[in-house]
Amino acid sequence: FGHDTTTDEVLEGIDLSATPALVTGGSGGLGAETARALAAKGARVVVTARDMAKGESVVAGIRKSTGNDAEDATCGVRSYALDADAAKRLWKVSEEMLGEQFPL
């Protein structure tokens, strides 16, 4: 791999069906691209972002572009608001995910 290698090239030939993936900082840039690439390979992707509106927008785009939009525990892409410094919020996100049967 080189400096111009894409996420799709890195994941070429890898099947991530039903593999859980947590992407922090997923509302833009590298986080959003990483989430998109993982979802394109069938992973169950959780995108966390400080700005929930941006996170949801990214997730909507990922669902549309990859077709990874199932609402079950085997695949799909979801977003959660998360401030990395807020331990209480981390527990809340964990409880939300478990309550929706979308474990990591």
Is 104 within the bounds of a domain?
no
pLDDT band at 16 (very low <50, low <70, confident <90, very high): very high
For residue 75, count CB atoms less than 10 angstroms from its CB and return exposed for 0-12, middle for 13-18, buried for 19 or more.
Answer: buried
Domain hosting residue 94, numbered range: 7-99
pLDDT at position 74, please? 59
Give this prediction's pTM. Answer: 0.77
Across the chain, mean pLDDT equals 85
Is 60 within the bounds of a domain?
yes
Is 2 within the bounds of a domain?
no
pLDDT tens readout for residues 64-79: 999 887 766 556 888 8
pLDDT tens readout for residues 35-68: 999 999 999 998 988 888 999 999 999 999 998 8
Which amino acid is present at 33?
E
Query: Cβ contacts of residue 66 below 8 Å, gap of 6+?
Result: 36, 39, 40, 77
Number of domains comprising the chain = 1
- The dihedral sign for the CA sequence 82, 71, 43, 39: negative
